[in-house]
Structures are given as structure tokens and as C-alpha cells.
Amino acid sequence: MVKVRLATPVLQENNEVARENRECFRKHGIFVLNLMSSPGSGKTSALERTIGHLAGRLRMGVIEGDIYTTKDAERIETHGVPVVQINTAGSCHLDARMIRPALEDFDLDALDLLIVENVGNLVCPAEFDLGEDARAAVLSVTEGNDKPMKYPLVFRQSEAVLINKVDLLPYTDCDISQLEKDLKLINPELQLFQVSARLDEGFGPWIEWLQKKVQEKKAELGTTVMKITAADAAPGQGGAVPEESAAPGE
Amino acid sequence: MNGGENMHELSLMESVVKQLRASAAENDIKKITRVLLVVGKMTMAVPDALQFAFEVLQKEDELLKGAVLEIREEPVRCECKDCGHLYEAPNYEFLCPSCSGPNVKIVGGRELYIDFYEGD
């Protein structure tokens, strides 16, 4: 009988590809956000609002992760930003290896921000590094107060949480102050943004935060956000974004 | 949770099997009899689902047929960077229970690796 000690992380292979992706993003000066949530939290709607607000400010691309369909990518496409769909064919999360071929379909030098919408799932995506710079989660008030404590990893590893569907608060039993307290307990550094994607409310501070993150990375790399010309701006967006007051309750 | 969770452990277990296969080939091992996998409580891998995935994968596999998978779970452990307090956090208390500071680092519970395997 032979005993062999290994002690190599099970996810080592994924982590190595993630490192290569990260290097690629650095080279092209792109800030990458991995957006995670459970199904039905309004992740795609929040992303659509985010695209609308960022039009004319940042050059954006989207990777859409979905198990089988192209429904979300079709929604994103109508906003005039480059989008690549990854179908995971049954797998419940994106991994670093799936991201790499998708990158070939973008003009990477023409992007400041790439948002990867992960497969709707609070469990597995949290384990797989894609090479992103930051993670954010969408959590809707209709999902119930207990989600942070049940799925702490995704919130521990996120830098920001969009608390969505706050317009529905009167119709739920969700105690939003308790929800925020739990999130902060899991991750005291979390940035919390109360939004309603349906009503397009509360996105101002989130957009500011995103822009700050992109600028910080550009500054670190010694590059700047390129001025967007009218021709680059997404059609139908006009580039005009109404200035917003602070998120409700914040 | 839904079936998604099983799929997730299955893909993790596929990585485990891949590592075992590579190492067994290197060490000229034809049959693996026992595997010890270390799984932190703050990974999203559920031991029962890992066990089930292993059973599925070993069925038609000459190298792994009959091998026993043992899983050692590691608790969530934290260290306060401000006061140095070390503590276990089974309910994810990431504010230091000693000084109430938020500057807490997770030092255990995120493990996911094959400790060792045995074979002939």
C-alpha cells in the first residue's frame, strides 16, 4: 500500500485560468465585475438599468451566463452594448475556463468595464474565481431576510450588494434594517445600495461606486477612461443620465 | 436547494478525480483504496453531495472502484487583525467577539483539497 500526500486545492486548475484572465484584463485596462444572485432577484433588470445609466460615461461589455437560454443576452443586446452569451449546458455556475473563449468575441481595447452576469444561483458561483476585479450581489427583498445567513460566502466575497425591489417592501415581511445588519455582520466592508430596478430608482450611488472602481483600476494601471464620442454611445440612450438623489432609506 | 447543488459538487468531484488520476499515473498506482478530502464549512460544498458524486464517478472506473472517500470538515475560524483574538465562527460572526472590531480575517473553513490517498 502506498500513501500519497497531495494537498493541492481542488480548484487549483480554475484558479490558474482565473489568474490568466486577470492578467488579460489588466493588459487591456478593463475593470471586471462578477455579478451574482439567486434566480428572479432582478439581476438582469438591474444590469439593464446600470447600462442605461452608464451610457456615454463608460464603454461597457457584458458576458451573460445562463444554463441553456439566450433570453438575457437578447435583453442586454437591445441596449446597444456588446454582449456575449455563455451557455453552461447544465452547469450551475460560470468558471474561469468558460470566460476565456468569450473574450475573443470582444474588442477588449474598446472596453472600460466588463460585467459578467453569473448563472442565477447563490451557492456555487461564489466558489469559482473568474479573474474578476470585484464581485457584487443582487438580493431582492422578496427573497426573505434569511438569505445572507444561509448563503454567507457570496456576500462575504462581494464588495457591494444591490438590495433590489425595495418598491415592494410594503408587501413583504422583509425587515430591511435587519437584512442590512446581517449583511454587515458577514462583511463589514460591504457597500449596500437600495434600488428598484422596476422603477429605476436608487441607482445613483451604485453608478458612482462602479465608476470609482473603474477609475481606481485605470489609475493603478496608469491609463484613463477614454472620452466617449457620440458615435460610441449606445443608440437610444442619448448619454443623458438624470442626476439622482441618495438611495431611499440611506 | 434544487438539483443545481448536486451538479456543483459533481464538477468539484470531477476535479478531484482528475487530480487523483494524474497523481496515480505518476506514482504507478493501479488501484486507489482510500481518499481523504478536507472540506471547510465555509465552502459551498456539501459533504453528502460530494460523497454521492464520488459514488457516481467511481462506478465504472477501474482506478477508483471500491475506494472509500473520507471527508474531514474544518470549522470556520477567524482571527481579529486588531486584537489578535482567534475564534471559531459557526454562525459567521465576522465582528470580533472580543473587541467588536470589523477587521477580521477568515483563517479556516475555506479548505477544499485532497489531503492524501492510499492505493496499490
Q: What percent of chain A has pLDDT over 70?
A: 90
Q: Which three cell numbers stand for residue B112?
A: 477544499
Is the pLDDT assigned to residue A234 strictly greater than 60?
no
Render pLDDT for A25-68 as a digit per residue (tens, 0 to 9).
Answer: 999 999 999 999 999 999 999 999 999 999 999 999 999 998 88
Chain A CB within 8 Å of residue B45 CB: yes
CATH (domain of B23): 3.30.2320.50
H or E stretch covering B105: strand B104-108
pLDDT of residue B8: 81
Asked if B118 lies within 8 A of A2 by C-beta distance, the reply is: yes
**Chain B residues 58-77 with CB within 8 Å of chain A:** none
Residues of the domain holding B44 = 4-75+109-119
In degrees, to the nearest 5, what angle opens at C-alpha A42 toward C-alphas A41 and A43? 95
Chain B CB within 8 Å of residue A121 CB: yes
Asked if B4 lies within 8 A of A149 by C-beta distance, the reply is: no
Residue A161, min C-alpha distance to chain B (Å): 17
Residue A138, min C-alpha distance to chain B (Å): 18
The topology under which CATH files domain A12-211 is Rossmann fold (3.40.50)
Query: Residue B84 falls within a domain, yes or no?
Result: no
Domain map (residue ranges) of chain A: 12-211
pLDDT of residue A105: 94
pLDDT of residue B111: 94
Looking at the 3D structure of chain B, how many domains does it have? 1
Chain B CB within 8 Å of residue A68 CB: no
Residue at A176: amino acid letter:
I
Chain A CB within 8 Å of residue B29 CB: yes
Please state whether B5 falls in left (phi above 0), alpha (psi between -120 and 50) or beta. alpha
Q: What percent of chain A has pLDDT over 90?
A: 75
pLDDT band at A126 (very low <50, low <70, confident <90, very high): confident
3-class SS of residue B95: coil
Is the pLDDT assigned to residue A121 strictly greater than 50?
yes
Measured CA to CA in angstroms, residue A166 lies from A122, A170, A247 at distances of: 20, 9, 10
Is the pLDDT assigned to residue B6 strictly greater than 50?
no
pLDDT of residue A243: 40
Is the pLDDT assigned to residue B2 strictly greater than 50?
no
In degrees, to the nearest 5, what angle opens at C-alpha A53 toward C-alphas A26 and A129? 35
Query: Residue B82 falls within a domain, yes or no?
Result: no
Chain B CB within 8 Å of residue A248 CB: no
Residue A117's nearest CA partner among A36, A25, A22, A193 is A36
Is the pLDDT assigned to residue A203 strictly greater than 90?
yes
Mean pLDDT of A224-248: 49
pLDDT of residue A244: 42
Asked if A185 lies within 8 A of B95 by C-beta distance, the reply is: yes
Is the pLDDT assigned to residue A144 strictly greater than 80?
yes
Asked if A8 lies within 8 A of B11 by C-beta distance, the reply is: no
Is the pLDDT assigned to residue A216 strictly greater than 60?
yes
Mean pLDDT of A225-243: 50
Is the pLDDT assigned to residue A79 strictly greater than 60?
yes
pLDDT band at B55 (very low <50, low <70, confident <90, very high): very high
pLDDT of residue B22: 96
Q: What percent of chain B has pLDDT over 70?
A: 94
pLDDT band at A230 (very low <50, low <70, confident <90, very high): low
ipTM field: 0.85
Query: Residue B80 falls within a domain, yes or no?
Result: no
Mean pLDDT of A20-24: 97
pLDDT band at A154 (very low <50, low <70, confident <90, very high): very high
